[in-house]
A = this chain, B = another copy of it.
Amino acid sequence: MKYKKTYRHSRQRDVILEELRKVCAHPTANTLYGMVRKRLPRISLGTVYRNLDLLAEQGEIVKFPCAGGQTCFDGNPKKHAHMRCTQCGRLIDIESKITVSYNNPVTDEYEITSHRVELFGLCAKCKNKQQPFNQ
A: which residues have CB within 8 A of B? 1-5, 57, 63, 65-71, 81, 83, 85-86, 92, 94-105, 108-124, 127-128, 133-135
Which of B81, B112, B124 sits near A108, CB closer than 8 Å?
B124
Chain B residues with CB under 8 Å of A66's CB are 65
Chain B residues with CB under 8 Å of A70's CB are 69
**CA gap between A66 and B69 in the complex, in Å:** 8
Q: Is the CB of A103 within 8 A of B97?
A: yes
A102-B81, A102-B98 known; A112+B116 contact, CB < 8 A: no
Chain B residue with the shortest CB-CB distance to A84: B116
Chain B residues with CB under 8 Å of A122's CB are 110-111, 113
